[in-house]
């Protein structure tokens, strides 16, 4: 094995570890300091609160009650990222950062499902307006650091991928 290959994804691993670490530390604090579905800390009155919610589903509570399937999906996603790393052009620095965000988030939420049986969510935003299907009653679904990593990573990757030339056949088989 070439030494360069080990360090080729170093930035990806560092970003993933940072997102995972921050996610788990914040969830640990929430889990140990706020009673689920009861306590809340007001950060900005009528706008931003820190709460403790157990989400048994995925984003917006979709697929609630299917935690095992969601954990399996997370494992499949991680294997797919590894398997398609050349096609995904993971050697490029920006893409390493985007996938580091996603991987850290995927692992953070998967660990929650395995340990707690649900994902610990705590960032709770309320807006003075509503957008049907997105902000019903002005309330954005409660989320966590892992969710931020996944969403930011996905949107940045999609945006950045439009700026890249498609990989050549030679690069895909390398």
- Output DSSP code: residue 85: T
d(CA 79, CA 159): 23
Closest C-alpha among 81, 136, 85 to residue 105: 81
- For every residue of 6-74, DSSP letters joined together read HHHTHHHHHHHHHHHHHHHHHHHHHHHHS-TTT-EEEEETTTEEEEEEEE-SSGGGTTTT-HHHHHHHH
- Residue 107 contacts residue 78 (beta carbons within 8 Å): yes
- For every residue of 130-174, DSSP letters joined together read -BTTTBGGGEEEEE-HHHHHHHHHHHHHHHHHTTSPPPPHHHHT-
Active site residues: 121, 147
């Amino acid at each position: 094995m070439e030494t360069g290959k080990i360090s080729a994804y170093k930035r990806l691993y560092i970003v993933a570890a940072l997102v995972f670490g921050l996610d788990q530390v914040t969830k640990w604090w929430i889990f140990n300091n706020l009673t689920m579905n009861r306590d809340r800390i007001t950060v900005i009155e009528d706008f931003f609160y820190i709460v403790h919610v157990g989400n048994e589903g995925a984003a917006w509570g979709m697929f609630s009650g299917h935690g095992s399937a969601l954990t399996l999906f997370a494992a499949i996603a991680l294997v797919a990222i590894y398997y398609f790393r050349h096609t995904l052009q993971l050697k490029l620095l920006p893409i390493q950062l985007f996938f580091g965000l996603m991987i850290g988030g995927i692992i953070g939420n998967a660990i929650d499902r395995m340990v707690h049986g649900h994902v610990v969510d705590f960032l709770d935003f309320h807006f003075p307006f509503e957008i049907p299907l997105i902000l019903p009653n002005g309330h954005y679904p409660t989320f966590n650091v892992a969710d931020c990593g996944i969403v930011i990573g996905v949107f940045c990757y999609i945006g950045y991928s439009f700026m890249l030339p498609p990989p050549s056949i030679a690069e895909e088989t390398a």
